[in-house]
Structure formats: structure tokens, C-alpha cells
Amino acid sequence: MGVVKTQFAFEALKSIFKKPSTEEYPHKRREPPKDFRGRPVWLIEKCVGCGLCARVCPVKAIKIIGRGKEVNVTYLLDRCIFCAQCAESCNIRAIAIVGEFEFAGYDKSKMSYIYDKKQLVEKEAEIAR
């Protein structure tokens, strides 16, 4: 009994001089691991607009309008639960997961990402011209 208490007291005293194990999060950031499930990003030039991602999404965070070359994907960050099922279901791997995780904000309108293939094509054409 006494031995255990002394052992524990010793460890407690030792901890005073040890570095605290707390991560000072907002001040010192740790890199998320390699396979972290963060925000999905649409590689819209690949997308064919099959709509599978919108169909499997458990929280209806993805809206797809149009098909083929006129596809328009709206991704709602504020609904997303970061399960990455969309990326997994995508047969042509047009959805990539990036290791971002700090999304908190005050403005809901900034939390929707729109990927428009038509605009992209036009922009590319303009650059080409």
C-alpha cells in the first residue's frame, strides 16, 4: 500500500518537470495524418456527372445539376460529415479528399463550394485563345 502511494507520488512529482502532454492546438498545429478524412474536392474536368456521389451521400450534402459536359456540382460543407463515401463510390476517382479540417466560420454562404464544368471549359478555351 505504502509502496504504491510512494510510487505514484514519485511519478506525480516527476511530471512537474516533464513537458506537458497537452497540444497547444491553436498556437502549434500538428499535421493531420496522411490518410486523414477531410474535405472532398471535385476534380471537375474528370467528372461525368453520373450523380452517384449525390445518391450515396448520407446527409445530402451534394447537389448535381446537368450531365456530361454541363455538370454543375454544389458541395455543402456545412452539411458534410466527412465520411468520404462519395470519394469511395466514385467510379472514375473524380473526388479527392484533402487533409483540411478547420472549417468553422460565421458565414454559411461561404460554406458551399460550386464546381462548374462548363465554366471551366470556357475558361480553358479562353486561355487557349
Q: Which helix (H) or strand (E) holds 31?
A: none
- Among the listed ranges 8-16, 41-49, 62-70, 112-120, the one in contact with other proteins (CB under 8 A) is 8-16
CA pair distance 97, 83, nearest whole angstrom: 10
CA pair distance 7, 85, nearest whole angstrom: 49
CB 120 within 8 A of CB 128: no
**CB of 114 vs other proteins, minimal distance in Å:** 23
**CB of 44 vs other proteins, minimal distance in Å:** 23
Binds other proteins by CB under 8 A, chosen from 15, 29, 45, 78: 15
CB 63 within 8 A of CB 74: yes
Site membership for other proteins, residue 92 (CB under 8 A): no
**CB of 69 vs other proteins, minimal distance in Å:** 28
Q: Which of 6, 114, 127 is nearest to 62 (CA)?
A: 114
Which residues here bind other proteins, judged by CB under 8 A?
1, 3-5, 7-9, 11-13, 15-16, 18, 20-22, 24, 32-33, 35-37, 55-59, 81-85, 88-89, 97
